[in-house]
DNA sequence: AAGGGGTACAACCGCCATGCT
DNA sequence: CAGCATGGCGGTTGTACCCCT
């Protein structure tokens, strides 16, 4: 155990490895030194007294190793005491955060998969900024990471569209364009290869009124979770539906209880009736769709909306861009 | 090549809830 | 019940790195 943790620390510390991005531990010592003034209140909280100068800022390799080794030996919890006992000149809070968000062995790093992104969008629509609650549904992901994803990616797109992230306008964009695209990508992953599925499944994912997207445990063919779609029946009890991939296999089947999904905290997809209205076919609603599209011509190009889904890395068929026109035609 | 703006993410802050004494 | 310690959460900030001009 200790060995494994030490190896992890080495990997983490070794040149920004673990993060797979520009982040990783920042060039710590300089910055930390520059910000060394310890807030006195925290010094007292840590029970250190005046002689203990608390460090702040990025963690050093040595600090990481100290924390990892100490936890490997004594376990976690009682963070202030832990920080003192381990000889770390950090607040308990800082140690806890460092451990939970970065050093824990089961922390998953790197880009969010398409289905993880889809799940985040879906859960955020239900629960709002309940990051820890959302993180609990994504094994290995931390609330901090999800929060950062939301702020940097999702809010960026809202800004691009010149609307608030909570506005109906943006939610419609997510619903009609972003989520189908993510679903498409996730389905491709399920298919076991890196090609995108034929438009059949994607279309099903896109246009099914009252569609639900839910994640289930990973099947062992795919490194990511299985995405399942569920359209509710008119009776709105429970229902099931199957998304097929290009070779005709069923990607997944799931039964979902509509009533449960209609719970009080379920704001976004519970507006399925609104979606249904938009896709129901009356000329008025059709007009709404076109207006929506005209309002936001930038939605014609969603490249970059899916993390790890850049144009450069996409197979040709993935270059297809979805428009509301396409969606409408599929019905 | 330089620099300025944007992006991503680790780390910090303040507040609150809970449990213990 | 009050006071304190601790843990958890959401929001914010600071900074390294990337990209474009």
Three-class DSSP category at A99? helix
CA-to-CA separations, A77 to A72, A81, A82, A86, A93, in angstroms, rounded: 12, 9, 7, 12, 11
Check the CA dihedral A257-A180-A136-A45 and report its sign.
Answer: negative
**What per-residue confidence (pLDDT) applies to A21?**
36
Distance between the alpha carbon (CA) of A156 and the C1' atom of C21, Å? 22
Residue written as token pair 């920004």: A16
DSSP A268-308: SGGGHHHHHHHHS--HHHHHHHHHHHHH-GGGG--TTSSTT
Distance CA A232, CA A191 (A): 24
Which residues neighbour strand C (beta carbon < 7 Å)? A 16, 22, 26-27, 30-31, 34-35, 45, 47, 57, 77-81, 92-93, 96, 100, 129-133, 143-144, 147-148, 151
Nearest nt (C1') from A156 Cα = B7
**What per-residue confidence (pLDDT) applies to A331?**
30
Q: Which nucleotides of B are covered by protein (CB under 7 A)?
A: 7-14
Give pLDDT tens digits for A244-303. 322 323 232 222 333 333 333 333 333 333 333 334 444 554 555 555 555 555 444 444
**What per-residue confidence (pLDDT) applies to A28?**
33
Residue A58 DSSP code = S
**What per-residue confidence (pLDDT) applies to A293?**
55
Residues of chain A with pLDDT under 70: 1-52, 160, 186, 188-331
Nearest nt (C1') from A25 Cα = B10
Q: What is the mean pLDDT of chain A?
A: 56
Point out the residue nearest to C6 (C-alpha to C1').
A78
Q: What are phi and psi of A211, to 5 degrees?
A: -70, 140
């Amino acid at each position: 155990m200790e060995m494994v943790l030490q190896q992890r620390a080495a990997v983490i510390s070794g040149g920004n490895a673990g993060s797979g991005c520009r982040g990783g531990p920042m060039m710590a010592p300089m910055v930390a030194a520059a910000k060394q003034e310890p807030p006195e209140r925290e010094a007292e909280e840590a029970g250190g007294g005046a002689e203990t100068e608390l460090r702040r800022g990025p963690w050093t390799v040595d600090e990481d190793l100290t924390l990892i080794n100490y936890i490997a030996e004594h376990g976690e919890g009682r963070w202030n005491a832990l920080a003192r006992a381990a000889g770390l000149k950090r607040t308990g809070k800082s140690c806890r955060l460092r451990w939970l968000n970065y050093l824990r062995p089961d922390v998953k790093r790197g880009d969010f998969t398409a289905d993880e992104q889809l799940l985040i969008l879906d859960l955020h629509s239900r629960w709002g900024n309940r990051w820890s609650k959302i993180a609990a549904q994504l094994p290995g992901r931390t609330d901090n990471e999800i929060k950062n994803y939301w702020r940097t990616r999702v809010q960026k797109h809202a800004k691009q569209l010149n609307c608030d992230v909570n506005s109906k306008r943006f939610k419609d964009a997510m619903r009609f364009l972003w989520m189908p695209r993510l679903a498409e990508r996730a389905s491709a992953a399920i298919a076991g290869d890196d090609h995108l599925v034929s438009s059949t499944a994607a279309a099903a994912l896109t246009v099914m009124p009252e569609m639900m997207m839910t994640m289930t445990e990973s099947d062992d063919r795919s490194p990511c979770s299985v995405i399942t779609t569920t359209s509710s029946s008119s009776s709105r009890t429970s229902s099931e539906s199957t998304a097929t991939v290009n070779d005709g296999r069923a990607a997944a089947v799931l039964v979902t209880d509509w009533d449960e999904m209609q719970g009080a905290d379920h704001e976004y997809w519970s507006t399925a009736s609104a979606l249904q209205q938009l896709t129901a076919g009356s000329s008025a609603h059709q007009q709404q769709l076109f207006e929506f599209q005209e309002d936001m011509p930038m939605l014609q190009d969603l490249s970059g909306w899916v993390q790890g889904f850049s144009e450069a890395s996409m197979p040709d068929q993935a270059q297809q861009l979805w428009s509301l026109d396409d969606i409408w035609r599929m019905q």
